[in-house]
Amino acid sequence: MFRKNTNLYIAVFLITALVFSLITVYAAGEPKKKSISARAAVLYQPDTDSFIFTKNEHTRLPMASTTKIMTALVALENSDLNDTVQIDSSAVGIEGSSAYLKEGEVLTMEELIYALLLRSANDAAAAIACHISGNTESFADMMNERAEALGLKNTYFKNPHGLDDEGHYTTAHDLALIAAEALKNDSFKKISSTYKKSFATEDMTRLYVNHNKLLNMYDGAIGMKTGYTKKSGRCLVGAAERDGLTFITVTLDAPDDWRDHMALFDLGFETLERIEFAAEGEYEYSLPLLDGEADNITVTNTEGASVITRRGDHEINKYIKLSKFATAPIKKGEIFGEIVFTLDGEKASSVKLVATDNINKKEDKGFFKKLFEKLGL
């Protein structure tokens, strides 16, 4: 009887422990999504093409002025920053945020993109569109072609500024991919991470101040775009770089967007880390050289190696594979070995060891030439 009761107590204890553990897991994971105010949100790591956090990521929603990320990308890919743009009448007096452009005045494309990304100027968006493709409708077609080239299935643009328009939508997932593509453009990255910028002409000076508070609120923030209409709610795309890691955050219809983004960034930097295996030129070896004008050749790694992985205690090892000697002639960049790096017993990365110089084969002078040199003839 005692043994039966003991087994019963043990069974009840194990079942209770299992239920408690499930409740704990649920309680630990679920509030994270509930604590994000946004209707849709993602945390994206572009180097690994991984989504660390998602919430309604494929729900089609209006995106307000975060539209302008694609506007800027298409503009930068189809014009030069030094291009001069004469402001068309159709770009004047657009509702919402404005640079207060005047018909006929001339600005550079650079200034218009600063106005677009910092002040979120809707008239600048229209001016850019008219300059590049003649009108906003044709420019929206270019935006959609670029979205299609990125493989996006749930994004469609009807205008370059993001004002409410039926059929103008994206998803948190797609917007993160657009942002990642834009960050590859050095000019976009520089402009979107600028807090303020002024441009002066003979007639006036315009000062553009970035609406993105993350630049001053979060360590490592580098952009990228705010947005708001009554229909879309508060929309925000953010980006931050720290310790060799880049994260992109997207929230659509988020009453508490600044806090949402900082919480998502914290999650990213607490979850992942970049492990550096080798810096460029860190490893250098000398090999004996046969039949060469020199006795040795130097080989090194001309590229670095790193990996992004989950934070934790990792076992890192390296294995060097290197030729015992080399034979002339040698071409710079010729491969003579590699270093393989393992992480927790699995191959994670490698670097090639290559010759640093060209080395010719030693000239064969022959018996008589050597004799004449010896005799001084």
Tell how strand 245-252 and strand 233-242 pair up: antiparallel
According to the model, what pLDDT value does residue 33 have? 72
Q: Which residue has the tokens 């010896």?
A: 374
Domain extents in the chain: 38-274, 279-355
**Cβ-Cβ contacts under 8 Å for 146 (sequence gap 6 or more):** 70, 73, 74, 77
Per-residue pLDDT of the chain (377 residues; tens, 9 = 90+): 444 454 544 444 444 444 343 333 333 343 367 699 999 999 999 999 999 999 999 999 999 999 999 999 999 999 999 999 999 999 999 999 999 999 999 999 999 999 999 999 999 999 999 999 999 999 999 999 999 999 999 999 999 999 999 999 999 999 999 999 999 999 999 999 999 999 998 788 999 999 999 999 999 999 999 999 999 999 999 999 999 999 999 999 999 999 999 999 999 999 999 999 999 999 999 999 999 999 999 999 999 999 999 999 999 999 999 999 999 999 999 999 999 999 999 999 999 999 999 999 987 655 555 555 666 65
- The CATH architecture of the domain made up of 38-274 is 3-Layer(aba) Sandwich (3.40)
According to the model, what pLDDT value does residue 365 have? 58
CATH topology (fold) of 279-355: Peptidoglycan synthesis regulatory factor (PBP3), Domain 2 (2.60.410)
**Cβ-Cβ contacts under 8 Å for 337 (sequence gap 6 or more):** 285, 299, 320, 321, 322, 323, 352, 353
Q: Measure the CA–CA gap between 317 and 312, rounded to whole angstroms.
A: 16
According to the model, what pLDDT value does residue 362 have? 87
According to the model, what pLDDT value does residue 203 have? 81
Active site (catalytic) residues: 65, 68, 120
Q: Which residues of 208-222 are buried (b: 16+ CB within 10 A; e: fewer)?
A: bebbbebbeebeebb
According to the model, what pLDDT value does residue 248 have? 98
> CA–CA distance from 284 to each of 213, 215, 280, 338, 340 (Å)?
46, 41, 10, 11, 15
Residue 49 near residue 142 (C-beta atoms within 8 A): no
Residue 53 near residue 264 (C-beta atoms within 8 A): yes
Q: Measure the CA–CA gap between 318 and 124, rounded to whole angstroms.
A: 53
According to the model, what pLDDT value does residue 364 have? 66
DSSP annotation of 178 reads: H
Encoding tokens for residue 199?
A: 């441009």
